[in-house]
């Protein structure tokens, strides 16, 4: 979790961590921009939702769909319940680590986590 948090913070800070440059700012901007074409987006709605895009190895929220999806938020959902996102608009990083394969009838732990995190923002 510590390494994942450091990575998410570095991405949120435009490539810097602890005063050191890890990635260039243009590299981070390129990685966190949506690169899907309209045709690719039509085929990815089931995976990314209507407001989801794809950067270099991570999802990118392109529009608000609910409380926890804000334009510019980027990160990753893993197959067994891990989730890590950086939200530049809120200056926030959130990481959820579980080991539970989700199915259609599974409790939405990730949705509860992200909804609670965003609901706790007080300004």
- The domains of the chain are located at 2-119
Is-contact 73 89, C-beta < 8 A? yes
Superfamily in which the 2-119 domain is placed by CATH: DD-peptidase/beta-lactamase superfamily (3.40.710.10)
pLDDT confidence of residue 78 = 81
Overall residue count recorded for the chain in this entry: 123
- Quick: pLDDT tens for 24-39: 999 999 999 999 888 8
pTM, 2 dp? 0.83
Q: H or E stretch including 96? A: strand 92-96
Lookup: tokens for 105: 């009838």
pLDDT, residue 80, reads 80
């Amino acid at each position: 979790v510590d390494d994942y948090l450091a990575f998410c913070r570095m991405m949120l800070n435009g490539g810097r961590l602890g005063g050191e440059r890890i990635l260039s700012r243009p590299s981070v901007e390129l990685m966190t921009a949506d690169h899907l074409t309209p045709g690719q987006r039509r085929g990815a709605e089931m995976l990314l939702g209507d407001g989801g895009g794809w950067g270099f190895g991570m999802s990118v929220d392109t529009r608000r769909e609910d409380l926890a999806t804000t334009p510019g938020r980027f990160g990753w959902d893993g197959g067994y319940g891990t989730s890590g996102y950086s939200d530049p608009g809120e200056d926030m990083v959130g990481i959820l680590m579980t080991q539970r394969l989700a199915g259609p009838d599974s409790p939405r732990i990730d949705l509860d986590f992200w909804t609670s995190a965003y609901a706790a923002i007080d300004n």
